[in-house]
Amino acid sequence: MFGRRKKRDAADGAAGEAEQVVDGVDAEADEETGRVRLEPAPRPDGPWDSSEVREPGEGRVDLGGLFVPGVDGMELRVEVAGDAIVAATVVLRDSAVQLQAFAAPKREGIWGEVREEIASGITQQGGIIDEVEGPLGWELRAQVPVQLPDGTGGFQVVRFVGVDGPRWFLRGVISGQGAVQPQAAGLLEQIFRDTVVVRGDGPMAPRDPIVLKLPNDAQMVPENVQQEEGSRFAGGMSRLQRGPEITEVR
C-alpha cells in the first residue's frame, strides 16, 4: 500500500488546517508540506461510486469492492497481498490495465500526492517520468527499468492513471501496447472509466486498500509457473503477488 504519512495530533490538525480558495476552488492547506489539498474533481464520465449506479452488476464482474466491466475476449486476474485480494488486472490481447482502489479522506483528493510518490520512486530506480494530461486526466507515463529475458537491462513503458472519488481513490496501471499506442488503449481506458467502486460505510484509514473477492462463478486456472511478484511498478506501494486467474469471463 502507499506509505502513510504520520498522523497529526488531533488538536493541531483542527487548529492548523485553514480553508482557502485557490482559483475559486475550495481547498485545505497541509501545514507539514505546504501542499494545497483540493477536493475530488467531478467525474461526469466515471469511474463511478456504487451510489451513482442503479445496477452495478449489469455488464460487470462483481469483485466485491469493484465492479469491473466485462468485454469479449478479456482475461481477469486477481492479485493478493497476504490473504487479501487487493487488485484486479484486465488483460486484453497484448495490453492490460491493473485496477486497485483505496480508501481516501472524505473531502480530500490524493491523486496529486500519489503521483509525486510514484514519480519519486521510479526516478530513484533510474526510470524516466513524464507527467501529462491524458484522456483520463493527469497521468504519469513512465519508462521503468526492467531486466530483459536475456539478462540485460531495458525499460518498460507503463501509464499510471488515477481518479479521486467520494472517500476512495482508484488507480490504474496500463501496460503493453496500451501504454504506447493510443488506439490500443481506448478499450482499457473505457474499462477504467466504467468501473464501479464499492467503498462501504465502515471506517477505513486513508490509503488502505479496498479488499476484493472472487466472483461466485469464477473459473480458476492453475498456474504452472513460479509466481512472480506483481506490480513492480508500484512506486511506493506494497509488492503484490500474482494470484489466481479468471479467464474468458465474457
Average pLDDT over residues 13-20: 33
Quick one: pLDDT at residue 25? 36
Average pLDDT over residues 148-177: 94
Please identify which residue in the block is written with the cell numbers 469471463.
249
- Outline where DSSP puts E strands in the chain: 19-22, 25-29, 36-38, 48-49, 60-62, 66-69, 75-81, 84-92, 95-103, 128-134, 137-147, 153-165, 168-176, 196-197, 220-221, 229-230, 240-247
Q: How far apart are CA 47 and CA 30, in angstroms?
A: 27
* Of 154 and 223, more confident: 154
Largest CA distance in the chain: 57
| Percent of residues, the chain, with pLDDT higher than 70 | 71
Confidence of residue 83 (pLDDT cuts 50, 70, 90): confident
Of 131-135, 150-154, 167-171, 243-247, minimum mean pLDDT range: 243-247
Nearest to 191 by CA among 74, 106, 107: 74
Confidence of residue 4 (pLDDT cuts 50, 70, 90): very low
Please identify which residue in the block is written with the cell numbers 472509466.
193
Confidence of residue 1 (pLDDT cuts 50, 70, 90): very low
* Of 230 and 199, more confident: 199
* Of 248 and 96, more confident: 96
Quick one: pLDDT at residue 13? 37
Quick one: pLDDT at residue 41? 76
Q: How far apart are CA 87 and CA 46, in angstroms?
A: 19
Residue 182 has pLDDT above 70, yes or no: yes
Confidence of residue 120 (pLDDT cuts 50, 70, 90): very high
CA distances from 83 to 44, 68, 80, 114, 212 (A): 35, 21, 7, 25, 11
Quick one: pLDDT at residue 230? 37
End-to-end alpha carbon distance in the chain:
30
Please identify which residue in the block is written with the cell numbers 519519486.
120
Q: How far apart are CA 33 and CA 29, in angstroms?
A: 9
- Residue type at 9 in one-letter notation: D
Task: For domain 40-247, give the fold.
Answer: Protein Transport Mog1p; Chain A (3.40.1000)
Average pLDDT over residues 22-44: 54
Contacts of 245 (CB under 8 A, 6+ apart): 75, 76, 77, 78, 220, 221, 223
Residue 12 has pLDDT above 50, yes or no: no
Residue 223 has pLDDT above 70, yes or no: no
Average pLDDT over residues 124-141: 96
Q: How far apart are CA 243 and CA 250, in angstroms?
A: 20
Q: What is the DSSP letter of 135?
A: T
Q: What is the pLDDT of residues 43-65, one digit of tens each?
A: 788 899 999 999 999 999 999 99
Contacts of 113 (CB under 8 A, 6+ apart): 35
Average pLDDT over residues 188-197: 96
